[in-house]
Structure 1
Amino acid sequence: MTILRSSQNGFWTGTEPNFTGRYLPIAGLNAGTYRLGVEKLRSPLSSLSTPQFDIVIVIG
C-alpha cells in the first residue's frame, strides 16, 4: 500500500526554474515501520535527462 506520493502530496522547494528539491511532509503519519521508495522516472527515456538527486530524511 502506498501512503504518500511526492507527485500528489509533496511540493517543490526553491524558486522556478532552479528548484532545489521536492519536500514531502510526513508529520501526519502514525508511529510505525515504513518502507521508503523512490519516484524518479516517468519513463526509461526520462532517465537519460533526469538529474541525480539525494534523499534527505529530517527527523524532529
Structure 2
Amino acid sequence: PSFITSIIEIPICFYIIYFVFNKYNFSLNEVFLYSVFAIIIIIFNLYLVHKVMKKYFNS
C-alpha cells in the first residue's frame, strides 16, 4: 500500500506544481526549484518505502 501511495503522490506533486505555476505565474526558475523539491520528496518517499519493505521482509 505505501508503495502505491508513493506512485500516486508523483502525479499529485506535479499537478500541484502545474496548478501553482498557472495560478501565480511563477518564473521558470521557481518552477524548476519546485520540481526539484518535488522530485527530492518523491525519491525520499520511495527510499523510506524501500527501507520499510526491506525491514518487513527480513523480519
TM over 0.5: no
Structure with the higher helix share, 1 or 2: 2
Higher strand share: 1
Structure with bigger gyration radius: 2
